[in-house]
A = this chain, B = another copy of it.
């Protein structure tokens, strides 16, 4: 039995297979509004300790398009923590028929802890754990890039914003590396960078004007205000002045550059509304791709 806890669990061949399968599911099922019977009678349970409308409903729709039952039990966010009571609940859901859990939690490695605890009794997908990993987000980002760019090796990818708190950035950087991408630039003020990440995996650039030059892909991260309370991070309007993705700054990238954002968007903080609505923005395409990619992942794990 396989789990999907980190993008690093996957090799290039597997990621390529998932990209190919997701593209087929996108065209034949998602865009056609149809439904498969692949997982008819199977039970998928969501454990969202951290609320996330878009991720939760993306997984819900993906599961339903595969024909599975989805349970979205309300999680008591305050009383339920890692430990016996959570494990008791998880074992109960397995005994009731759950074959796959999607877990999201504010703490790092909760999905790993869960997979270790339940071992071969059910599949675990990490739907985001703290600042650590969010593998299906990385996969849908890779799918979006692959739809518009031919080769990962040749790409210049600029990732802008709150990198230190971003599981999206961590997962995507790893995914890009696995796919052979050599040129990744991390654009952020020093207090929003992680020294460990920048050592070897990507170049650092403190000036967005320099960092965006000739980029093929610009990934704009959400400012995680709730996680920035204790840092010396700049105020929102100050951040927008220094690092906000405006049409003028985007013009420094290649004319064919595409813009990604994991959502939800803070308009006027990390991104200008004019960029959100521009033809270069693939933000809503990412959402649609998310359903197809989660279908591909669930199908692959349950096969």
Measured CB to CB, the residues of A under 8 A from B are 29-30, 32-35, 40-43, 53-54, 57-58, 60-61, 64-65, 69, 71, 73, 84-85, 88-89, 91-97, 99, 263-265, 267, 273, 284-285, 287-288, 290-291
Contacts and interface: CB of A to CB of B under 8 A. Distances in A.
Nearest to A273: B84
5 contacts: A32-B41, A33-B41, A33-B42, A34-B41, A57-B71
A40 B33 CA distance: 8
B93 A57 contact: yes
Nearest to A287: B95
Copies in the complex: 3
A93 B273 CA distance: 19
B41 A35 contact: yes
A291 B96 contact: yes
A91 B284 CA distance: 7
Contacts of A92: 53-54, 263-264, 284, 287
A183 to B, nearest CB: 29
A95 B53 contact: no
A43 B41 CA distance: 18
Contacts of A33: 41-43, 97, 99
Given A57-B71, A60-B71, A91-B284, 13 more contacts: A29-B41, A32-B41, A54-B92, A54-B96, A57-B93, A61-B69, A61-B96, A61-B97, A64-B69, A92-B263, A92-B287, A95-B285, A95-B287
- Dominant secondary structure at the A interface: helix
B291 A97 contact: yes
A236 to B, nearest CB: 14
Contact of A267 (B35, B84, B89, B93): B84
A64 B61 CA distance: 15
Given A33-B42, A40-B34, A69-B64, A57 B96 contact: yes
Contacts of A64: 69
A282 B216 CA distance: 58
A73 B51 CA distance: 11
A53 B89 contact: yes
A284 B95 contact: yes
A275 to B, nearest CB: 14
Contacts of A61: 43, 69, 71, 96-97
A88 B34 contact: no
Contact of A265 (B73, B88, B95, B97): B88
Contacts of A99: 33
A54 B43 CA distance: 15
A96 B267 contact: no
Q: Which 10 A-B pairs have the closest CB atoms?
A: A95-B287, A35-B41, A95-B284, A34-B41, A33-B41, A95-B288, A33-B42, A64-B69, A54-B92, A92-B287
